[in-house]
Amino acid sequence: MIEMNNEKNTQISNNKIATNNAERLSHKIIIDGMLVSAISTETIQVINPSNARLIGHVPRCRSKDVDRAVRSSQKAFSHWKKIPARERGKIMMRAANRLEKRRKELETLLSLDTGNAIRTQAIPETASAIELFYMFAGLAGELKGENFPPNMEHVLHYTTRDPIGIVGAIIPWNAPLFLMVAKIAPAIVAGNTVVLKTAEQAPLCVLLFADILQEELPAGVLNVISGYGKEAGEPIVVHPEVRKITFTGSYEVGKEIMAKAAPKLCPVTLELGGKNPNIILSDADLEIAIPGIIDGMRYTRQGQACTAGSRIYIHEKIYDKIIEGVVKKLSELRMGDALDEESDIGAIISEEQLNRTLHYMELAKKSPSVKVLHGGHRPADPKLRDGFFYEPTLMEGIPIESPVCQEEIFGPVACAFSFNDFDSMMQSANDTPFGLSATLWTENLYRALQFVEEIEAGFVQVNQCVAPRANVSYGGLKMSGLGKEYALDSMINHFTQSKTILINRGKLAHNRSC
């Protein structure tokens, strides 16, 4: 009884911390280092995915608010770019320390905002975001050009790495804090200023993160607005003073952004979708492969991850063992309120996204060969009926050409396939417009190296399926995006521009007085 009361008290405490911050941040954006009201008087409701209740409002910003943010960033850039890189790094390090001290606030609001379970998702994501922030702050001293051997007499030949200017950053809702840091930290450390647009489904946790940063950053270095893509995101992309765009989201929107930015020759970094293979060979270590399928599908994030291994290829010799083990582990996962620390799985972000999952499940169940091995329904628990919950789902027998196997669902739905020929399986694994991530489980070094060589993906793992993290260069091939993130190369390649400099020293004139 005492233990149950402690759990209840913890959840009440988590809820109170999160709701207090949601109330304080409602109706606000960040301009010139302060929480202020937007020019636009329209708002967007922010809904708690765990119970579909209103937790706050954010401004529905439009072009006038974008212009206001850009002007602030423009003014700040003239000063920020002149601060020595290592000094910028020190400022960012102090900001990271402030984030660390207020980690509990960030974790709880992240969980309330996204519906992601606090223990399995919000706490690890907050830790990863702060770690990534610290990393980029520490890399400030690596922003340097190159010196070249002279190929002309008396000529000094070198390059510099300089900030680009105003960066427009547009982030999604599935891992908002980590993806926010992936955009803003390298950009700001490199000497740029940023206009960030939050995702309308999960804006408040990002606003809190940015509000904490204002305690150290000069006014205008980071401005934050909210709104819909067409109304607030597009004006950022096309704004003539925004000289770099970085975006994470769907490949349909990514293509639009690239086209909109093209007339001003604006560089674009895109991290887009995936339909990723998770492959288990007959010699795989089942003790790591079975939980690897669960982790790889990101079931504890409701499948809402670009790297989710939603196409599971299992060798026929071990197919039944793998399926049995995965289904057993799925049945042990507890679904519940995101702020309940006993929950393994939270809620899907929104009713719209839940309906997307339901749509694909309807398509799947129309096929007579389909067998649902686990899940396939909304939970029966009456405590969960108001939230956007859906059971972690695993199916077999679905045709590989089905939209369920070809399109990114971004929900907790995976398809299993049996195979006996490696080459045919690899052909199927690559038969997708996406090329984000891929995983292989085997103890056969030859097959592992063949897989690494042949797979068409930018983020490849063997015998593990961890989420991207600090100092791991991450990005996709094909329709999964352009450019890499999360490492030093992303800061240098995407947030600086290079100058090539040739200085002819000439000949020393004879000076009799020397």
Residues designated as active site: 271, 306
Report the b/e string of 282-293 with b at 16+ CB within 10 A. bebeeeebbebb
3-class secondary structure per residue, 169-191: EECCCCCHHHHHHHHHHHHHHCC
Q: Is 232 helix (H, G, I), strand (E, B) or coil?
A: helix
Strand partners, 56: 46
Residue 141: how many CB atoms within 10 A of its CB?
Answer: 11
Q: Which amino acid is at 120?
A: T
Q: How far apart are CA 18 and CA 6, in angstroms?
A: 18
Candidates 355, 307, 298, 353; CA nearest to 330 is: 298
Report the b/e string of 238-272 with b at 16+ CB within 10 A. bbeebbbbbbbbbbebbebbbebbeeeebbbbbbb
Q: How far apart are CA 48 and CA 27, in angstroms?
A: 16
Residues in the chain: 514
Asked if 413 and 370 touch (Cβ cutoff 8 Å), the reply is no
Q: How far apart are CA 48 and CA 56, in angstroms?
A: 9
